[in-house]
Amino acid sequence: MSVATPYFDQLFAGNDDPWAFRQRWYEQRKRALTLAMLTRPRYASIFEPGCANGELSAELAPRCDRLLCCDTASAAVRLAQARLERFAHARVEQRRLPEQWPSGQFELIVLSELCYYLDADDLKRLIDYALAALTADGQLLACHWRPPIDGCPQTAEQAHAVLQQRLGVAPLVQYQDADFLLDLWSLDGTSVARHEGLR
């Protein structure tokens, strides 16, 4: 069973940064690596589900023409909206995924610290929605904490294995350390050098 919305509501009750995204060097470093993994300087459209308080969202916003973020917790949505206030092209909505997947096409979908909260069936549905929503040259980035989390139906390894199997293409870029996994899949498989005509 996927982790329910009240779990996240409780995390944000009286705490605007329950995972210490702003304070922890671990989180700052992970965001920097996440952004460095992106093989394009700019994207036409990015979707970031599970945006929490919008710390990563604020760093994705300058890299795109249109940014859609969502979270299941109403407090997180309000915090992310405030964090992205200066970006006119960014929108934050309250949605429960996979059942409330938005319409539209995206050049990049960012699944950061989200997939292990979903059970196997919900994760497969989410990936299928993502595949249908990606542009022909679309990319999907996934980043997840490796140690097991109490109450989560999956580990990072399990979630990334399902992503790999369901997406059906080899990762374009991969990074892992003792703490987290970071993979970028690209539907057209174009490397940075090839994109710039260097090979």
Percent of the chain with pLDDT over 90: 83
Burial category of 147 from C-beta neighbours within 10 Å (exposed 0-12, middle 13-18, buried 19 and up): exposed
pTM: 0.96
Mean pLDDT across the chain = 95
Mean pLDDT calculated for residue range 152-181: 96
**May I ask the CATH class of domain 5-195?**
alpha beta
Percent of the chain with pLDDT over 70: 100
Q: What is the DSSP string of the chain?
A: -PPPHHHHHHHHTT-S-TT-TTT-HHHHHHHHHHHHH-SSS-EEEEEEES-TTSHHHHHHGGGEEEEEEEESSHHHHHHHHHHTTT-TTEEEEE--TTTTPPPS-EEEEEEES-GGGS-HHHHHHHHHHHHHHEEEEEEEEEEEE-S--TT-S--HHHHHHHHHHHH-S-EEEEEE-SSEEEEEEETT---HHHHTT--
Using only C-alpha atoms, what is the Rg of the chain?
Answer: 16
Asked if pLDDT for residue 173 goes beyond 80, the answer is yes
Asked if pLDDT for residue 19 goes beyond 80, the answer is yes
Residue 190 is predicted with a pLDDT of: 83
Tell me: the pLDDT tens digits for 92-114? Answer: 999 999 999 999 999 999 999 99
Tell me: the pLDDT tens digits for 50-82? Answer: 999 999 999 999 999 999 999 999 999 999 999
